[in-house]
Amino acid sequence: MKTFVIAEIGINHNGDITIAKKLIDIAKNAGCNAVKFQKRTLEIVYTKELLDSPRESPWGETQRDQKAGLEFEKKEYDIIDAYCKEKKIEWFASAWDVDSQKFLQQFNAKFNKVASAMLTHLPLLEVIAKEKKHTFISTGMSSFTDIDRAVEIFQKNQCPFSLLHCVSTYPSEDNECDLLVMNELRNRYKCDVGYSGHERGILPSVLAVALGATIIERHITLDKKMYGSDQAASIDESELQLMMQQIRAVPGILGNGMKTVSEKEKGIAKKLRYFE
């Protein structure tokens, strides 16, 4: 089964649709299957106190200015929808509140996504599951009890889903990745399991595929030094290209598990083997 690779653009576009298009191009050129964004209704997700608190950014002096500067609205999503159709790559977004999920419904994307931070937002999960679109559920910061409740909602609504093992540190150290958790998720929930990584490099993502991940999700960036909290936990164009090459090579490297002597080996054996 070919691994489904999601290039997470998230908010790394910095509120600039030109940057978003460049990131879509990078994902498409590397051979990714989809790009993903994030959608928030600021007044629902954040308190007024937080939004009014100080924070310097390219957009102003408050948290509200910064978060509004990073948020795309219908005009931008119309452009994204048309551009992804033109480039022939799927797109979808993770909603952080019910209103944002309802906003996204107008675009009729093929997939939904539950961000790790939203896994315990049960009313949001109910809305998503009722759409019955295949949903990728990230499991960072979550206990098995948390995951049990989320899975129950999707099973109750007969909504197809995959679970993504995830460690919600930005960036993650390699020794935090704990990829073998994928085996426990697969055995416990009897579903496809993938990996959503935030590490600096690409090795854990490639190893995840070797361990059976059917989905890989990675944040991508034009430049890790750009403004933004997710940039350092993202991979750039050259890293994405290399990761995709290695991911696509994994099935051939693993083979089919059948011990045989190939024709090439037989030729070598004639030269090197001792025959009585």
Look at 9-13, 84-88, 255-259 and tell me which has the smallest mean pLDDT. 255-259
Per-residue pLDDT reduced to its tens digit, 148-165: 999 999 999 999 999 999
Amino acid at 275: F
Alpha helix locations (H) across 53-201?
63-69, 74-87, 98-104, 122-130, 144-156, 181-189
The residue range of the domain holding 143 is 4-272
Chain center to CA of 36: 7
Query: pLDDT (tens digit, 9 = 90+) per residue, 161-176?
Result: 999 999 999 999 999 9
State pLDDT tens for residues 170-196.
Answer: 999 999 999 999 999 999 999 999 999
C-alpha–C-alpha distance, residues 231 and 234, integer Å: 5
- Rounded-to-integer distance, Cα 15 and Cα 17, Å: 6
User: At 274, is the pLDDT very low, low, confident or very high (cuts 50, 70, 90)?
Assistant: confident
Question: Which pLDDT band, with edges at 50, 70 and 90, does 224 fall under?
Answer: very high
What CATH code is carried by the domain that includes residue 55? 3.20.20.70
Task: Say what the pTM is.
Answer: 0.96
Identify the pLDDT of residue 41: 98
Which of 72, 55, 63, 6 shows the shortest CA–CA distance to 234? 6
Please state the length of the chain: 276
pLDDT digits (tens, 9 = 90+) for 95-119: 999 999 999 999 999 999 999 999 9
Instruction: Could you list the beta-strand ranges (E) of the chain.
Output: 4-10, 34-39, 54-57, 60-62, 90-95, 111-114, 134-138, 161-166, 193-197, 215-219
Structure confidence by residue, pLDDT tens digits, 49-65: 999 999 999 999 999 99
Q: What percent of the chain has pLDDT over 90?
A: 96
How many independent structural domains does the chain possess?
1
SS3 112: strand
Q: What's the whole-number mean pLDDT along residues 112-140?
A: 98
Across residues 64-70, what is the average pLDDT?
97
Torsion angle defined by CA atoms of residues 202, 203, 204 and 210, in that order, rounded to the nearest 10 degrees: 120
- CA 245/CA 7 separation, integer angstroms: 14
pLDDT of 275 over the 90 cut:
no
Predicted local confidence at residue 181, as pLDDT? 98
Q: What is the pLDDT of residue 78?
A: 98
CA atoms of 110 and 77, how far apart (whole Å):
15
Please report the pLDDT score of residue 153 as a whole number.
98
* Range from 13-17, 58-62, 260-264 carrying the lowest mean pLDDT: 260-264
Predicted local confidence at residue 273, as pLDDT: 86
Q: What is the mean pLDDT of the segment spanning 122-140?
A: 98
**Mean pLDDT (the chain, rounded):** 97
Beta-strand relationship, 60-62 and 54-57: antiparallel
The confidence band for 29, taking pLDDT boundaries of 50, 70 and 90, is very high
- Residue 54 burial (C-beta neighbours within 10 Å; 0-12, 13-18, 19+): exposed
Residue 276 has pLDDT above 90, yes or no: no
CA dist., res. 221 & res. 185, Å (int): 29
